[in-house]
Amino acid sequence: MEESQTPVKAEGGGEDKKMKVLVAVEESEGSLYALSWALDNLFTSACDVPDKTESLGRLVLIHAQQQPLQHFMHPVGPCMTDPHHRSFPVLFSTRESHVYREKQTMTKNCMSCLVAAVYATSSVIDSVRRAQEQNSRNLLERATQVCRSKLVEAEMVIVDGDPKEMICQFAEQMQADLLVVGSRGLSKMRRAILGSVSDYCAHHATCPVLIVKPPKGNHP
Amino acid sequence: MAAKAEDASTAAAVGKAVMVVGIDDSEHSFYALQWTLLHFFSPAVRPSGPYKLVIVTAKPTPTSVISVASPGAADVLPFVESDLRKISSQVIEKAKDICSAHSVLDVEYEVVEGDARNVLCEAVDKRHAEMLVVGSHGYGAIKRAVLGSVSDYCAHHAHCTVMIVKKPKPKH
**Residue pLDDT, tens place only, A4-34:** 333 333 333 333 457 888 998 887 777 888 8
Do A138 and A208 belong to one domain? yes
Q: Which residues of A touch B164 (CB under 8 A)?
A: 202, 208-211
Residue B68 in domain: no
B57 within domain boundaries: yes
Q: b/e string for A32-47 if b means 16 or more Cβ within 10 A?
A: bbbbebbbebbbbbbe
Residue A4 belongs to some domain of the structure: no
> Which structural domain, as residue segments, surrounds residue B157?
17-62+74-165
- Most A CBs within 10 Å: which of B137, B163, B169, as the mutation test of the A interface? B163
Decide if pLDDT at A98 tops 50: no
For residue B144, give the CATH number of its domain: 3.40.50.620
CA distance B70 to B72: 5
Each residue's pLDDT tens digit, B2-39: 444 444 444 444 567 899 999 988 888 899 999 998 88
Q: Which of B132, B137, B162, B171 best tests the A interface by mutation, with the highest count of A CBs <10 A?
A: B162
Q: pLDDT: is A29 or B89 the higher one?
A: B89
Q: Are residues A107 and A140 in the same domain?
A: no
Tens of pLDDT, residue by residue over A131-150, are: 888 888 888 888 888 888 88
Q: Please indicate, yes or no, if residue A72 is contained in any of the structural domains.
A: no
Domain tally, chain B? 1
Complex prediction ipTM: 0.80
Q: CA separation (Å) from B88 to A73, B16, B94, B153, B158?
A: 59, 27, 10, 21, 23
Same domain, A103 and A142: no
**B43 within some domain:** yes
Q: Does some domain include residue A217?
A: no
* Contact in structure between B53 and B21 (CB atoms under 8 Å): yes
Do residues A91 and A172 share a domain? no
In this prediction the pTM is 0.72
Residue B79 maps to a domain: yes
CATH of residue A42: 3.40.50.620
The number of domains in chain A is: 2
